């Protein structure tokens, strides 16, 4: 799909602190399990994407690290786990910069893409199409389904990754000169899980195997909200 080789960087904060906007819907333990399930499904899709040479995961979550070791498969792109950088007022973007630097050391001639780890529906073909579309540009991004956030930020070989994730990140990435890619609204790359409505919608749609298993366990207990 794309002639470029890519390093994909996936940041995953410690699961106990992830998805705080779901705290009113889920117990702390359930929320942590969901964060890890979604991250593992996202990472698995990235590893199986055509053109992806390596996936760099930036995390301090020990259970996730152990799960990634267990999921190792020589037939797919290798995983490198990088420690979160020292505490920062902007931890997500600091983690992405650290992951991009590690990826560039390992694959100096590769393009780099920052991919959020909460895309449980992500399909490898959707990611491959977006990376192919990003390849001609110095910097490009994919907005989330609402059009305000960002799920993917990609830069050409040799270009500096300048992540501006957070509230209004789509506008911030565009203002920094990145091209917004014309990715269909239905693409699985655009559907992250942030708020309870996202999680309820995921119950009606195909998700990766780990998120599907989590949703099945949740459904056995009762409806979400």
194 burial via Cβ count (<10 Å: 0-12, 13-18, 19+):
middle
Domains contained in the chain, number: 1
pLDDT at residue 31, as a whole number: 86
- 117-to-39, 43, 120, 123 alpha-carbon distances in Å: 5, 7, 8, 13
Is 42 annotated in a binding site? The answer is no
Tell me, yes or no, whether 16 lies in a domain.
Answer: yes
Q: Binding site annotation covers 169?
A: yes
For residue 1, pLDDT beyond 50: no
- Position 223 scores a pLDDT of 52
Mean pLDDT within 194-202: 76
Residue range 180-202: average pLDDT?
86
What does DSSP assign to residue 150? E
Residue 177 annotated as binding site = no
Whole-structure pTM value: 0.92
Q: How confident is the model at residue 144 (pLDDT cuts 50, 70, 90)?
A: very high
| Residue 45 within any structural domain of the chain | yes
In this model, does residue 160 exceed pLDDT 80?
yes
Instruction: Report CA torsion sign: 101, 69, 193, 196.
Output: negative
Q: Identify the domain containing residue 116 by its residue range.
A: 6-220
At 148, which CATH number? Answer: 3.90.550.10
Mean pLDDT of all residues in 68-94: 86
Q: Domain for residue 225, yes or no?
A: no
Average of per-residue pLDDT values in the chain: 89
Q: Could you say which DSSP state residue 157 is in?
A: T
Q: Which residues contact 29 (CB under 8 A, 6 or more apart)?
A: none
């Amino acid at each position: 799909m794309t002639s470029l080789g890519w390093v994909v960087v996936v940041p995953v904060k410690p699961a106990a602190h992830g998805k705080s906007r779901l705290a009113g819907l889920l117990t702390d333990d359930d929320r942590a399990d969901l964060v890890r399930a979604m991250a593992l499904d996202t990472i698995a899709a990235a590893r199986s994407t055509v053109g992806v040479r390596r996936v760099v995961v930036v995390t301090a979550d020990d259970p996730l690290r152990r799960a990634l070791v267990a999921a190792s498969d020589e037939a797919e792109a290798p995983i490198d786990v990088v420690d979160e950088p020292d505490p920062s007022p902007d931890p997500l973007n600091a983690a992405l910069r650290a992951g991009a630097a590690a990826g560039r050391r390992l694959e100096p001639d590769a393009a780099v893409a920052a991919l959020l780890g909460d895309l449980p529906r992500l399909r490898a073909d959707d990611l491959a199409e977006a990376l192919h579309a990003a390849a001609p540009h110095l910097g490009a991004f994919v907005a989330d389904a609402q059009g305000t956030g960002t799920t993917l930020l990609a830069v050409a070989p040799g270009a500096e990754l300048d992540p501006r994730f957070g509230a209004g990140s789509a506008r911030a990435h565009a203002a920094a000169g990145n091209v917004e890619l014309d990715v269909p609204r239905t693409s699985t790359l655009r559907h992250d899980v942030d708020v309870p409505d996202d999680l309820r919608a995921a119950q009606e749609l195909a998700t990766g195997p780990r998120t599907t298993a989590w949703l099945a366990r949740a459904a056995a207990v009762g409806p979400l909200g």
